Amino acid sequence: MKLIINFTPTGMIPTRKMTPYVPISVQEIVEDVHEAMEMGITMVHLHARDEHGEPTHRGEVYREIIAGIRAFSAELVICVSLSGRNCQEFAKRAEPLQLTGNVKPDMGSLTLSSLNFNQATSLNPPEIIQRLAHEMKRRGILPELEAFDAGMINYARYLKRKGLLEPPHYFNLLSGNIANAQANLLHTGIMINDLPPDTYWSLAGLGKAQLMMNAMAIASGGGVRVGIEDNIWHNNGQTRLARNIDLLRRIHELAKIHQREVMPPGELRKLLNLASGHGQYGRACNEST
């Protein structure tokens, strides 16, 4: 299968004090996505920042970012973050899902449990997870399922039995976090083995694990999630800060070595039963939403 490249340019953690290369303003995010699109990506996982550079779920900010991206790419698959790191109110977390028309997102992130990072917590109570899944189903938006360990995959199977998730599925399998699956073959293999049928997946590694997990995914036939969101450094010695385009260029070099062609956005749309783009977004069966 062709290589799915899921581009994550900003995230919630990187700041200008940490790296001058993280895109924060609407214009900066749009420009980084444009540069990435010219090199070759399949989809983008967006985080919005407010006028102070802080993470925000405000629909108006996502509207500007998505409109800016769709001005140069009518097909790029766009996922908005519904993260629980800095917000526990369902209405705020679901706000980007209310966008319609040409700024409607195709996907929304759904982290499948609460989890601890080094110095922060992402709270995802069962009620919130299920309400977000229900809202995405109602709005015709495909969940981007985020699993940090095998237990989260089991919870996705539970949501599927409850009718809140419908195939085809797309999973990001994230490893290297201190409190979850570690970045090694055994943990990764268990997670892949537990995925439900009709699933497409990408591997992500946090921090210095990013390159190893991306390389593992390319070699084993999966997709990759890559960008400054997961790692601000270009090298493990942390002597060179990365630009997003640097991280993407390395993925393209590895893909060429392994003879993996990058999947164009239109092809992923067909695989995930998404609308065709060009004014129609989200699930194909809900093109009028």
Give how many domains the chain has, as a whole number.
1
| pLDDT tens readout for residues 233-260 | 999 999 999 999 999 999 999 999 999 9
Distance of CA 125 to the CA centre of its chain: 20
Name the amino acid, one letter, at 35.
E
Residue 35 parent element (H or E): helix 26-39
- The DSSP bridge partners found for residue 116 are 121
The yes-or-no verdict on residue 286 having pLDDT over 70 is no
By CB neighbour count within 10 A (0-12 exposed, 13-18 middle, 19+ buried), where does 196 fall? middle
- The 3-state DSSP class for residue 75 equals coil
Distance, in Å, from the CA atom of 112 to the CA atom of 107, rounded to the nearest integer, reads 15
What range does the domain containing 169 cover?
5-286
Structure tokens at 276: 């065709």
Q: 166-197, pLDDT tens digit by residue?
A: 999 999 999 999 999 999 999 999 999 999 99
Quick one: residue 149, left, alpha or beta (phi over 0 = left, psi -120 to 50 = alpha)? beta
Side chain identity, residue 38 = E
pLDDT digits (tens, 9 = 90+) for 40-94: 999 999 999 999 999 999 999 999 999 999 999 999 999 999 998 888 899 999 9
Q: 121-122 and 5-7 as β-strands: parallel, antiparallel, unpaired?
A: unpaired
Strand partners, 111: 146
Specify the 3-state DSSP secondary structure of 185: helix
Tell me what pLDDT residue 287 has: 42
pLDDT digits (tens, 9 = 90+) for 127-165: 999 999 999 999 999 999 999 999 999 999 999 999 999
Model confidence pLDDT, tens digit, residues 86-127: 888 999 999 999 999 999 999 999 999 999 998 888 999 999
CATH number, residue 98: 3.20.20.70
